[in-house]
Amino acid sequence: MLDFIVAVLSNPAVIVGLVAMVGLIALRKSFSDTLKGTLKTTLGFLILSGGAGIIVGALIPFSTLFQQAFHLTGVVAEDNALVAAVGKFLGRETALIMVFAFIINLVLARLTPFKYVFLTGHMMWSFAGTMAIALDQMGMKGWPLILTGAVIEGVSMVAFPAISQSTVRRVTNSDEVAFGFWGSSWITLAGWVGKPFGNPKKSTEDVKVPAGLDFFRDMAVFMGLVMVIIYVVTAVAAGPAAGAKVAGGQNYLFFAVLQALTFVAGVLVLLQGVRMFLAEIIPAFRGIAEKLVPGARPALDVPIFYPYAPVAVTIGFIAALVGSLLATVLTRYIAPVVVLPSVIGMFFMGAAAGVFGNALGGRRAAVVAGFFLGLTWPLLVAYSYPLVDFTKYGVQGLAFASPDAMIVLILMRLVGKVFGV
Amino acid sequence: MKILTVCGMGFGTSLMLKMFIQDLLKELNIKADTDVSDLGSVRGSQADLIVAPSDMKTHLVDLSIPVIFIENLIDKREIRSKVAPVLKQLHETAGGA
């Protein structure tokens, strides 16, 4: 009986449901709201795991083809998919790290001058997963793993917003919100790299951008196109013989198109799960934070910066995409793995680099910032990839994507080296 | 009555907007459902009102549902001054339901 209870309470979907329930009860929500919130959180988590399964399934034939075509490993950097895919092994640890990290964040915001409350939910979750994976690989287990991961994440949740805050003030002309996104350090750096190239008086916002150019805002469409191109190019390079073997009797090019779209469908399912999983937990976290740490700055997701310079969003994204295409070619020659162009990563981070660059040094700085981000980010992905062995979890073709989390991961492995782990 | 908030992925900015609007509804003592959506799925969703960041204007201007565009997503005063009158109006035309 005890074993059964432990098994139920170790299930990550149950843990996140319970967390939402406790949060909603603490906020004195009605019975029906609490029931609804608990169920939706649990369902969201199950949907998210389903999406990860679809993504992993669509990446396996791709990885095989890529290997045969180029004799190299190709990876897609996507944290949510990676953490969800590893959920079978470390789901309980991930969910608990997320909860305790939030508590540590609140304690730090309450007791130290770092008054930041990190509220970007999918990032809290993916960072927790990154910690679980990193510590598992360093030989930790159970509660020591959970608590170590939670402390590192909790500290990161106030440290990274603090690093970018002075730059955020220059972008938003206010001090009310902070940057709660695990690309904040790299985006801020990109902005400062762009600064000397430009003149802040020559803003991107005076540039006329053709109206049709922002079609990439519809993520599903744009990602669909890019993934089809990547899959078909790989299939063609692998040739009909290798293609037919993987496709199992189907026309191999049609198979490649279908698998590319299946990958995108998996991402959409995953995101729907993330949406349901967070829709209840984050308002509950926010309610608790407002009660316990009144007046703290909420650290929020990256799109809050886009309206400050919508043209810079487009310019930064395009510059980042150009940079990342170059970097894909570059990683082919110098890095341990080939990092495939990431639509989601380049859009969200490239756009913000454009906005930050523009605020610091005008339009030329926006271009340089976006390009710098696109060029350097895949290198960070490629060089942190060998720090973790994903085959242990039956995952191939995925890599970590968040710069801040990768920086922490690299530091952890370095510290581990010193202590011989 | 249902209010839908929108952003690129449907769980970052839109969730933040949703929380502001929930606060506002409580303040106005109006009962309404709130939900989030990503930009790609808005067209398949049912709602009485949509609230979205202004940089998505070109994607959402041709909807049959009224859309409110927010310029500064962290400015609660802007959100309040744009959304509150519409909420009151929708609430009255729905006969308080």
For residue A219, the chain B residues in CB contact (below 8 A) are: 8-9, 38-40
Query: Between A211, A217, A279, which is nearest B15 by CB?
Result: A279
| φ/ψ (deg, to 5) at B35 | -145, 165
| Total count of domains within chain B | 1
Would you call B96 exposed, middle or buried from its count of C-beta atoms within 10 A (0-12, 13-18, 19+)? Answer: exposed
Q: Select the residue of B22, B36, B72 nearest A275 (Cβ to Cβ).
A: B36
CB A345 within 8 A of CB A325: no
**Which residue in B has a C-alpha nearest to residue A306's C-alpha?**
B55
Please tell me the distance from the alpha carbon of residue A31 to that of residue A27, in angstroms, as a whole number.
Answer: 11
d(CA A22, CA A18): 6
Kindly give the residue spans of alpha helices, DSSP state H, lying in A71-173. 79-111, 121-137, 142-172
pLDDT recorded at residue B51: 95
| Sign of the torsion angle spanned by Cα atoms A94, A97, A103, A106 | negative
Computed from CA positions of residues A216, B5, A280, A160, in that sequence, does the dihedral angle turn out positive or negative? positive
What CATH number is given to the structural domain containing B7? 3.40.50.2300
**Cα end-to-end span (Å), chain A:** 37
Q: What was the pLDDT predicted at A200?
A: 87
Residues A393, A397, A402, A408, Cα dihedral to 10°: 50
Nearest to A343 by CA among A317, A364, A367, A312: A317
Task: Tell me if A334 sits within 8 A of A378, measured CB to CB.
Answer: no
A332 in contact with B at a CB cutoff of 8 Å? no
What does the DSSP assignment read for A212-233?
A: GGGGGGSHHHHHHHHHHHHHHH
Give Cα A65 to chain centroid, integer Å.
Answer: 26
| pLDDT of the residue at B97 | 47
Percent helix, strand, coil in chain B, to 5, is 50, 20, 30
- Residue among B6, B7, B9, B60 with most chain A CBs within 10 A, to mutate: B9
Q: Is the dihedral of CA B35, B41, B45, B51 positive or negative?
A: positive
Which structural domain, as residue segments, surrounds residue B43? Answer: 2-93
* Residue of A165, A147, A144 lying closest to A155 (CA atoms): A147
Question: Please, what is the angle between helix A403-418 and helix A184-194, to 10°?
Answer: 110
Give contacts of B22 with chain A, Cβ < 8 Å.
Answer: 283
| Integer angstrom CA distances of residue A64 from A214, A246, B61 | 34, 8, 44
Residue A248, Cα to own-chain centre: how many angstroms?
A: 33
Q: At A99, list the tokens.
A: 């909860």
Nearest to A90 by CA among A51, A48, A50, A135: A135
Contact of A390 with A225, CB cutoff 8 Å: no
Beta-carbon contacts of residue A380 (< 8 Å; ≥ 6 apart): A186, A403, A406
Stretch (H or E) spanning A299: strand A297-300
Nearest to B11 among A122, A221, A313 (CB): A122
Using alpha carbons, select from A334, A356, A293, A276 the residue that is nearest to residue A110.
A293
Low-confidence spans in chain B with pLDDT less than 70? 95-97
A264, A291, A301: best to mutate for the B interface, most B CBs within 10 A: A301
Domain range holding A180?
2-418
User: What are B34's strand-pairing partners?
Assistant: B3
Which of these, A243, A262, A226, A249, lies nearest to A58 by C-alpha position?
A262
Closest CA to A266 of A85, A99, A127: A85
Which region holds residue B73: left if phi is over 0, alpha if psi is between -120 and 50, else beta? alpha
Q: Is the minimum CB–CB distance between A220 and chain B shorter than 8 Å?
A: yes
Shortest Cα–Cα distance, B7 to chain A (Å): 8
B18: buried, middle or exposed (CB in 10 Å: 19+, 13-18, 0-12)?
Answer: buried
Using the beta-carbon criterion (under 8 Å), do A300 and B16 form an inter-chain contact?
yes
Q: Does A283 sit within 8 Å of B22, measured CB to CB?
A: yes
B39: chain A residues, CB-CB within 8 Å: 217-219
Is the CB of residue A179 less than 8 Å from the CB of residue A165? Answer: yes
**Which residues of chain A carry a pLDDT beneath 70?**
211-217
CA angle A317, A320, A326 (to 5 degrees): 145
Interface of B with A in 14-73 (CB under 8 A): 15-16, 18-19, 22, 35-36, 38-40, 53-56, 58-59, 70-73
In sequence order, what are the residues at sequence separation of 6 or more whose Cβ sits closer than 8 angstroms to the Cβ of residue A98? A124, A125, A128, A153
Token representation of residue A63: 């990885």
* Nearest-by-Cβ selection for A304 from B13, B39, B56: B13
The count of domains in chain A is 1
Instruction: Report the side by side order of strands in the sheet with A338-339.
Output: A338-339, A74-77, A398-399
**Cβ neighbours of residue A365 under 8 Å, at least 6 residues apart?**
A191, A194, A195, A196, A197, A198, A200, A357, A358
Residue A285 neighbours by CB under 8 Å, 6+ apart = A23, A102, A119, A121
CA distance A44 to A13: 8
Residue B15 to residue A278, Cβ atoms within 8 A: yes
- Under DSSP, the state recorded for A248 is T
Residue numbers in B near A312 (CB within 8 A): none
pLDDT in tens, A235-284: 999 999 999 988 988 899 999 999 999 999 998 998 888 888 888 888 88
